[in-house]
Structure 1
Amino acid sequence: MDVIESNKYFLKFDRQGIIKYKAIAKHIKKLIDSNIVKDGEKLPSIRKLSEYLNVNSITIVNTYKKLESEGYAFQKMGSGTYAKRKDINKNFRREYSKVLKKISNNGYTEYMDFTGETPNGDFFPVKSFKNVIDEVLDRDGAKALICQEVLGYEGLRDSISHIFWNNKINSEDILIVSGAQQGIDIVSKAIVNTNDGVILEKPTYSGALSVFKWRRAAIFEVPVDKDGLNINKFEKILRKNTIKCFYTMSYFQNPTGMSYSYEKKIQILNLAQIYDFYIIEDDYLSELIYDDRIKYNSFKSLDTNDRVIYIKSFSKIFLPGIRIGYLVPPKRFKEGIQNCKINTDISTSSIMQRALDLYIRKGFWRNYIDKLNSVYSHRYDYTKYCLIKYLKDKAVFNDPGGGLHFYLRILDEISINTIQLFNEAKSRKILITPGTLFYKNPLDGQKYFRLSFSQVKDEDIKTGINIISDIMNQKR
């Protein structure tokens, strides 16, 4: 239906009293980008819009041709022209990716980096890890460099089974992978086919969202509360759709920082059995718990029906350059997931697996985690203090009680979205992560941003949050 009467197509004339087709196209693009004109909504007919704007029909024909050429409209034969919203994240993702590459290449050393997802490399115990690598080479010789095992180095799998799982998981059921991202990718290839139903938290980790989009899964989103996703909305989707799997980050979820309560874990495990779906648990940063009220119980440790595919990365908490993680699949998918791993890269770095195994066995891992908790619990408290002091009337956030970041929502009275905030902060040497990256529909994240304190010193935390506050003050 044409919507002339809404006045949303109103345009002011230029100084010569002439509206050119480029100006009309620019105005309509703005309406589409801001969701005033909905994706797929029928645009006014050429005759009606030309009459409304008091221009000739050729001007509107050229307007619609320009919109089509720029991907903002499409035609249905015999029906008319329809709005098409471009992926506002596409170009920004490219830009944001360049920023992260420059950070990793030390190209943005003068910036205050609030985008980090891993602990600061300054805390990494290089000397002790070097000694462990030397000991591995002395012990194993060339085998440490060339020996490949399909499931991963047996010693590391034994260490994981014994130290992290108290031998409750058999080492033969553990598959070593090159980090959590590869784990998610392998699992998706093994169990998710085109149009299979997949439920994600809303918002969710952008890397997982990309994987399931690439698999062309039918993606359903369920909003999260303080203690996990909304169970009522979750079960409503389960009742109406056939769901293959549910992807979750059980502790300090990226980006919200939310952790699941014990009660919600039990509810979801029961629903998995009732509705016959599997849980992909990405155990993210659960080592960094600062609030004693948060108790560690993974979905996997509570699973009595073999419904959980457990993924754990050592890269996030240890060092991104050491690309090692592991997954524990249900028996039903064990062979398929192992085959997908073999087809992907055959084996993860042998020497790094052996070094990590020895590092864990010698107790260095526990010492390192204790050090990180000491450093980051202080930094967490200080960041929270600065957020309350400088952003209390501009943004709100939940208190995650652990992890490495906060997730903030800009209050409605502040007229800025987070891509604009990103750009303005970047111009003042501050880097943040806009919430648009974490949603299936980027528009849902326009008022959110993630602020990580992992790579920022105390004095820069205060300065950076002050600058963000100043930017928001200008947008009241």
Structure 2
Amino acid sequence: MDIYKDFTFKDNDIPKYIQVANYIKSLIDKRKIKEGDKLPTIRELSKKLGVNNVTIVSAYNKLKSEGYAYQKVGSGSYAKRKEVASNFRKEYSNALKKISMGDLTDVIDFTGETTGEVLFPIDDLKGIINEVLERDGANALLSDNRNGYTNLIYTINKVFWNNKLNDEDIIIISGAQQGIDIASKGILNINDNIIVEKPTYVGALSVFKWRKVNLFEVPIDEDGINLNKFEKILQKNEIKCFYTMSYFQNPTGVSYSIEKKKRILDLAEIYDFYIIEDDYLSELIYENSLEYVPFKWLDKNDRVIYIKSFSKIFLPGIRLGYLVAPEVFSETLQNSKHNTDITTSSLMQRALELYISSNKWKKNIKNLNDEYIKRYTHLKTILDSEFKDMLTYNDPKGGLNFYITLKDEFKINTKELFIKLRKKNVYITPGAMFFTSQNDGQDSFRIAFYQTDKEKIEKGMKILKEELILAKELRYDKLN
């Protein structure tokens, strides 16, 4: 039976490739096309539907970006049921919610998603808030500027940017996730094309998919995305923006070289796209070989939407950060922020301003670095000594996590590994969480040390090693 014979183009306002992609998605959802079924060749389907090859190529790319299809090199495109991906994400999310609501004493959280441990000096916070209330009284609860607390904007510009920015382009936000959402709502329309790193931050993927844009993924090398593949996409597609985490990319831990940043900025001008730079952990540089030079510092043509979060250096539960908008999008992004939540907590903005202007943040950053360097070094030593035959990883030289890839002999689907470890109160983040297609990242996972002290690192890594050895033995038994 020809399942494509009933297809017709119904709406002239919707591009043909989208109508084709939506029709195939409906066939997959209804199980008329089953998981793993090979889709028709581009030439075959274009002939069936009476369209050109480019339409089918675009339709298949959209299916892949939305998790409904995957490519086998030299073989073609195959169907993928999206619910397989969403079900595991739901299971992962529910598992973390459950442990977050309970006693975390015996939990080893290598996901970094819980907040069982807070290294911020709480007495400092109490003192800062009391000082703000004594100084400002009831005004501490009022907002004087829809972009944020005016003095905080001045202080950010002075302390972090040497007054090189226009204060009007700085918008106070409730954390990096809101910043991505504001940027997305402000500059992206349905079916716009954007490029993301492969793999990338799951929160950003959720935002972009919600906006119903077309995602193009570019693999990450040791110093940033693969520029050859990046430019090929730019040459063939009209790209609206590129989302990047310039330091300690989540999940890989990769930081961009200055040379690569400069080239990407040049390409942004040549191909007329914008860069959303998510700078969430650049304070946590542990080795002198890494120099702090964000895309925004090098941005001569106002192509970068810069997003900065203070959550990891202030308090995780207090979502604060800021966004720097290119002048062309300044008003649009201000409106996007205002339409999202009107304003961010005035009291906490004033507390953050005092925390920064009094230089207390410098002492806290030093203390955080001292503690996290110990954890980073300890975990790296264990990986190098106990796991060298089992896995590989990129040394991040900073940040809060390692991204692990299992060697062939010890390979286990890391979603299954997550479930096995969860039974022993150890939690990791499977690599599949960071890809648009759940066929990717099955042999990788992220280990964060944000919520694990030395004792928990040792205990958790011991349990992980036991599970990997057991997986190897089970695999050997099946082969024999």
Once the two structures are TM-superposed, the CA of residue 88 in structure 1 deviates from its matched residue by 2.2
CA distance in 2, matches of 1:41, 1:470: 44
Q: Is the 8 A contact 2:185 2:336 kept in 1?
A: yes
| Secondary structure of 2:235's aligned partner | helix
| Secondary structure of 1:169's aligned partner | coil
| Map of 1:10 onto structure 2 | none
| Gap change, CA 1:455 and 1:39, over 3 Å in 2 | farther
| Map of 1:287 onto structure 2 | 283
| Map of 1:462 onto structure 2 | 458
| Secondary structure of 1:142's aligned partner | helix
CA distance in 1, matches of 2:375, 2:256: 23
| Equivalent residue runs for 1:12-91 within 5 Å | 37-38=36-37, 40=39, 84-91=80-87
Deviation string 1:224-276 (CA, Å, 9 cap, x unpaired) is: 00100000000000000000000000000000000000000000000000000
CA distance in 2, matches of 1:262, 1:192: 27
In the alignment, is residue 331 of structure 1 matched against residue 327 of structure 2?
A: yes
Deviation string 1:154-174 (CA, Å, 9 cap, x unpaired) is: 010011000011111122221
| Map of 2:140 onto structure 1 | 144
In the alignment, is residue 355 of structure 1 matched against residue 351 of structure 2?
A: yes
Q: Is the 8 A contact 1:190 1:340 kept in 2?
A: yes
| Map of 1:439 onto structure 2 | 435
Q: Is the 8 A contact 1:119 1:318 kept in 2?
A: no
In the alignment, is residue 309 of structure 1 matched against residue 344 of structure 2?
A: no
In the alignment, is residue 236 of structure 1 matched against residue 232 of structure 2?
A: yes
CA distance in 1, matches of 2:208, 2:357: 36
| Gap change, CA 1:255 and 1:368, over 3 Å in 2 | same
Q: Is the 8 A contact 1:117 1:404 kept in 2?
A: no
Identity of aligned residues (%): 57
CA distance in 1, matches of 2:245, 2:266: 18
| Map of 1:22 onto structure 2 | none
Q: Which moved more, 1:224-233 or 1:164-173?
A: 164-173
Q: Is the 8 A contact 1:156 1:356 kept in 2?
A: yes
| Map of 1:98 onto structure 2 | 94
Amino acid at match of 1:146: L
Match of 1:372 among 368, 393, 400: 368
| Equivalent residue runs for 1:421-436 within 5 Å | 421-436=417-432
| Gap change, CA 1:371 and 1:84, over 3 Å in 2 | closer
Alpha-carbon RMSD across the aligned residues, in angstroms, is: 2.2
Deviation string 1:305-363 (CA, Å, 9 cap, x unpaired) is: 00000000111332221111100010111111000111111100000000000011111
CA distance in 1, matches of 2:372, 2:225: 26
Match of 1:320 among 292, 316, 320: 316
Once the two structures are TM-superposed, the CA of residue 445 in structure 1 deviates from its matched residue by 1.2
Amino acid at match of 2:159: I
Once the two structures are TM-superposed, the CA of residue 102 in structure 1 deviates from its matched residue by 2.7
Once the two structures are TM-superposed, the CA of residue 85 in structure 1 deviates from its matched residue by 2.7
Match of 1:123 among 119, 126, 131: 119
Match of 1:204 among 176, 200, 203: 200
Highest CA radius of gyration, 1 or 2?
1
Name structure 2 gaps, 5 residues minimum.
Answer: 3-30, 42-67, 70-77, 473-480
Name structure 1 gaps, 5 residues minimum.
Answer: 3-28, 43-71, 74-81
Once the two structures are TM-superposed, the CA of residue 39 in structure 1 deviates from its matched residue by 5.7
In the alignment, is residue 260 of structure 1 matched against residue 262 of structure 2?
A: no
Match of 1:405 among 364, 379, 401: 401
| Map of 2:44 onto structure 1 | none
Deviation string 1:169-216 (CA, Å, 9 cap, x unpaired) is: 122221001010001001101100111010000000000011111111
CA distance in 2, matches of 1:103, 1:300: 38
Pairs aligned (count): 409
Amino acid at match of 1:132: I
CA distance in 2, matches of 1:90, 1:119: 25
| Map of 2:338 onto structure 1 | 342
| Secondary structure of 1:475's aligned partner | helix
In the alignment, is residue 420 of structure 1 matched against residue 416 of structure 2?
A: yes
| Map of 1:132 onto structure 2 | 128
Q: Is the 8 A contact 1:161 1:169 kept in 2?
A: yes
Amino acid at match of 1:245: C
Once the two structures are TM-superposed, the CA of residue 84 in structure 1 deviates from its matched residue by 4.8
Once the two structures are TM-superposed, the CA of residue 114 in structure 1 deviates from its matched residue by 0.5
Match of 1:218 among 205, 209, 214: 214
| Map of 1:172 onto structure 2 | 168
CA distance in 1, matches of 2:37, 2:265: 38
Greater than 3 Å deviation, 4+ residue runs: 37-42, 106-109, 117-122
CA distance in 1, matches of 2:186, 2:291: 32
